[in-house]
Amino acid sequence: MSISLHLSAQEDLFGPSEHKEARHGFILNGNVGHDLPGGDMAQRFENSWRLGPALLYKTKSNWLFGAKFDFIVGKNVNEDSLMINIRDKYQTYSKNLFQFINNDGQRIGVPVYERGYAVGLSAGKIFNTTKLHPDNGIVVLTSVGFMQHRINIFDKDKSVMSLRGQYLKGYDRLANGIFVEQYLGYMYFSKSRLINFTLGADLLVGFTQGRRDYLYDVMRPDHTKRLDVLFGLRAGWFIPMFKRSSEDMMFE
């Protein structure tokens, strides 16, 4: 106890007695981001959210390596021709609700949403900005992987015969392919290990392709190559699982 008090008093008067070393170990992330679409993505969808986990390993020299998984969720769909051959021709235009005459002859509303995911491997580095906190700093992180998105047609009660089973594949505009993502932000690790977060900007570029052999509403196959872009702001909270140094155990 006396050693701990003496070192604490010495640091208060004269600052830290020596340069602290960066820690190393695993980091478990939970991320959320709000994206604006670009390229071909903007022609089909509007603003969306990405959320999901990531697992990184941080070295003593502040290099980062790991993997990530993001769900992509959005509300509005901009495909004017979507299900035009089976939806109610008297419906009021909506970007996320289409009306049909169901099997009982009643007019019902079927919502549509953007749904997708992106899974990949990540590598990057934290550029330390202060010697007092060697783990904190500006982070540059690059990810490469596989992404997929489609239009989710949510006929909850299965009351429209033309939207059952395999028929849905003729309308959902499934597309997938590889993506490259660049994240630039700031990473903060607290001394208590309770408040740890990252904030920054994110750019994802997907080189995707339509994957349906036939679209019923426009009567053609969909193997079109696409350039799908998502640009947004991202925040993350994480749990560091750093290896404890002998110095931490001696003076805690």
Q: Can you give the pLDDT at residue 1?
A: 44
Query: Higher-confidence residue: 81 or 16?
Result: 81
DSSP class of 165: G
Rounded mean pLDDT of 246-252?
42
Q: pLDDT tens across 212-245, in order?
A: 999 999 999 999 999 999 999 999 999 999 876 5
Q: Can you give the pLDDT at residue 251?
A: 35
Q: Can you give the pLDDT at residue 26?
A: 96
Q: Can you give the pLDDT at residue 244?
A: 67
Rounded mean pLDDT of 147-160?
94
Stated pTM of the model: 0.86
Q: CA torsion, points 68, 29, 64, 198, in degrees to nearest 10?
A: 120
Q: Can you give the pLDDT at residue 12?
A: 40
Give the pairing type, strands 137-153 and 212-215.
unpaired
Q: Can you give the pLDDT at residue 3?
A: 40
- Please say if the pLDDT value at position 72 is more than 80: yes
Q: Which residues pair with 196 in a beta bridge?
A: 189
- φ, ψ at 44 (rounded to 5°): -110, -35
Average pLDDT, the chain: 89
Q: Can you give the pLDDT at residue 53?
A: 97
Nearest CA to 241 out of 7, 18, 28, 11 is that of 28
List domains and CATH numbers for the chain: 2-251 (2.40.160.20)
Range scoring the smallest mean pLDDT among 40-49, 87-96, 143-152, 172-181: 87-96
What secondary structure does DSSP assign to 50-119, as a single string? EEEEEEEEE-TT-EEEEEEEEEEEES-B--TTTTTTTS-TTPPP-SSEEEEE-TTS-EEEEEEEEEEEEE
Q: pLDDT tens across 4-47, in order?
A: 444 443 344 334 444 478 899 999 999 999 999 999 999 999 99
Q: Can you give the pLDDT at residue 91?
A: 79
Q: Can you give the pLDDT at residue 90?
A: 83
Nearest CA to 123 out of 67, 71, 69, 178 is that of 67
Q: Can you give the pLDDT at residue 21?
A: 86
- Please say if the pLDDT value at position 185 is more than 60: yes
Q: Can you give the pLDDT at residue 11?
A: 42
Residue 168 CA, distance from chain mean position = 26
Rounded mean pLDDT of 62-81?
96
How far is Cα 134 from Cα 118, in angstroms, rounded to an integer?
31
